[in-house]
């Protein structure tokens, strides 16, 4: 287990995980700037215990099972639905269309006025609308394109298990309440984190890393 050499207080933004005063809508606010800080030794120890108990992520893709830690085998969108099952698809459009069949309760929580930005030929600043209400989404590229990974189930997610460690460049928290903490794992030092508030989207290339640089391609695990 990793041990921190010194104690660094966690800033008040840590509370974003439990609640948020921001109201989430079907189209979350783009390009917000997250607050950043360091995990305390006690918090980090608890998180590492949760990660140690994690299991391989087995997803259904084109009728077969794949271990996401070994790669997505060509898939471009993967979703963990409320049952805990994981499904991957060749395109983000296919993932959105399948949601109504795989997780109808989750689909009913979406706004019918929101359509896939990719399906409409929209990329860049508008692609964040692909993240439906009630979901947390990560993208491979900072303009909300590339591979998309999303969850509707709370918990601590080890991104290495999902083939997304050090590969996330943008994210959205399209929830009414309950933010996300995104961490960079460091051996022997406190783990830096971003506090991603409910109802906002973030370009990690614009998020300052506590010791310099940005959080682009640095997120190793998240707590949601």
Paired residues of 214 in beta bridges:
208
Q: How confident is the model at residue 1 (pLDDT cuts 50, 70, 90)?
A: very low
- The per-residue pLDDT for range 164-217, each reduced to its tens digit, is 999 999 999 998 888 999 999 998 889 999 999 999 999 999 999 999 999 999
pLDDT in tens, 27-69: 556 668 899 999 988 888 888 887 777 789 999 999 999 999 9
Query: pLDDT by residue (tens digit) across 138-160?
Result: 999 998 999 999 999 899 999 99
12-223 in CATH: which number?
2.60.20.10
Is residue 128 within 8 Å of residue 28, measured between CB atoms?
Answer: yes
The secondary structure of residue 26, as a DSSP letter, is S
Q: What pLDDT, on the 0 to 100 scale, is given for residue 224?
A: 92
| CA–CA gap between residue 159 and residue 48 (Å, rounded) | 13
Q: Identify the residue whose tokens are 């994690």.
A: 54
Query: Do 82 and 152 contact (CB within 8 A), yes or no?
Result: yes
pLDDT tens-place string over residues 73-94: 999 999 999 889 999 999 988 9
Single pTM value for the model: 0.78
Domain spans in the chain, listed from the N-terminal domain onward: 12-223
Backbone phi and psi for residue 171, each to the nearest 5 degrees, phi listed first: -160, 155
Contact 197, 16 (CB under 8 A): yes
């Amino acid at each position: 287990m990793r041990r921190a050499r010194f104690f660094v207080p966690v800033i008040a933004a840590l509370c974003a995980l439990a609640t948020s005063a921001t109201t989430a809508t079907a189209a979350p606010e783009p390009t917000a700037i997250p607050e950043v800080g360091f995990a305390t030794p006690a918090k980090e120890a608890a998180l590492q215990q949760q990660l140690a108990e994690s299991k391989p992520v087995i997803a259904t893709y084109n009728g077969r099972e794949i271990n996401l830690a070994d790669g997505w085998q060509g898939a471009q969108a993967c979703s963990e639905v409320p049952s805990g099952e994981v499904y991957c698809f060749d395109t983000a459009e296919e993932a959105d269309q399948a949601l109504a069949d795989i997780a109808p309760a989750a689909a009913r929580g979406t706004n019918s006025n929101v359509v896939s930005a990719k399906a409409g030929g929209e990329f860049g600043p508008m692609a964040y609308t692909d993240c439906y209400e009630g979901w947390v989404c990560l993208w491979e590229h900072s303009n909300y394109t590339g591979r998309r990974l999303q969850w509707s189930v709370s918990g601590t997610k080890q991104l290495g298990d999902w083939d997304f460690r050090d590969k996330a460049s943008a994210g959205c928290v399209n929830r009414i309440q309950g933010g996300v903490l995104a961490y960079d794992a460091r051996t022997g030092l406190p783990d830096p984190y971003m506090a991603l508030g409910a109802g906002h989207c973030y370009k990690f290339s614009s998020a300052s890393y506590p010791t310099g640089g940005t959080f682009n391609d640095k997120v190793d695990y998240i707590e949601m």
